[in-house]
Amino acid sequence: MNIHSQSRVSILACAALAAINLTSRTAGAAKEPPIGIVVIYLGGPDTGAEGKRLIDELVEHLAGATGLEPASLAGAYFNETKPAVEYLQSHRDAFVLGSLGFYLANRKALSLAPLALLKSQSGDEERNYVLVKKGRYKTLDDLKGKTLTGSPLYEDLGYINRLVFGGKLDAAKHFDLKPTSRPLSAVRKLDKEETDAVLLNSVQLDSLKRMPLFEKLEVIYTAEPRPALGLMVAETTRTKALRDKLLKAVVELCGTPKGQSVCTNFGIAGFEAMKPGALDAAIKDFEGGR
């Protein structure tokens, strides 16, 4: 089971692209700095050679599909918010594979605009779930002061409070929060009563349901569904000029012979162009809670 996979923008593409080096394929080959293809998988694994190969393959495909030289695009990967934001502040021309939480927390400061939803076997929506050992706790109130762990906890705390928990509690005050990049290990600790509760996303829960371990656990809280944002753009003159071509290439990615291989490696079911107003409710809930 690949319980590390994320949807939120979660998370799936980011999970499959985890382990990517900060890399530039230009070395001065283009007159202008390359346009970034930035992968942000909060709480994901550290970078590695296999991840670099995967993002190089993606960059090459997107360059070909948009009529650009491969050196015109550059890949970068981050598993923490701060360096990702710093990179985007200094590399303004960028398309971003990232989560709804990252978008909501940084959309104004980084001039982000949503482009496409990420499709998984669960659809194009994302939900979060609080799991406990069966019979140990019944409600979120029972977990006050208890440990809550999980990879979604690397998201912006405002997103966790307002969208995951619907503004009903302050997670940092209600729980002892323990973010982890090893959700399966956290789930196993539930059975041993070494932790109190685990926060999972839709893909992680679906994977867990295929394991015998799930019979020993139960979901005591289910968040409202949210759009599974997968692709966004930092709006600049250069990215606006490329926006339509890049979006078309991403939406068609999994349907092309070469792109199908890329999608299989990345664990992506597909992308769907964002419809106008699709994130209005999420934006309202996030900013209304400030």
pLDDT tens-digit map of 170-223: 999 999 999 999 999 999 999 999 999 999 999 899 989 999 999 999 999 999
Question: Matching CATH topology for 12-121+227-282 and 128-224?
Answer: yes
> 3-state SS string over 53-70?
HHHHHHHHHHHHHHCCCH
Mean pLDDT of 141-150: 98
- 260 pLDDT more than 90: no
- 1 pLDDT more than 70: no
Average pLDDT, the chain: 87
Q: Is the dihedral of CA 35, 41, 47, 53 positive or negative?
A: negative
pLDDT confidence band for 12 (50 / 70 / 90): very low
- 266 pLDDT more than 70: no
CATH of 12-121+227-282, one of 1.10.10.60, 3.30.9.10, 3.40.190.10, 3.30.460.10: 3.40.190.10
Residue 144 makes CB contacts below 8 A (sequence gap 6+) with 174, 175
- 54 pLDDT more than 80: no
Domain 128-224 has CATH 3.20.20.60: no
Please give the pLDDT value at position 58.
86
Please give the pLDDT value at position 288.
85
Residue 121 makes CB contacts below 8 A (sequence gap 6+) with 203, 206, 269
Domains of the chain, residue spans? 12-121+227-282, 128-224
Q: What is the DSSP string of 83-148?
A: HHHHHHHH--SEEEE--HHHHHHHTTTTTEEEEEEEEBTTBSEE-EEEEEETTT--STGGGTTSEE
The region of weakest confidence among 5-9, 147-151, 216-220 is 5-9
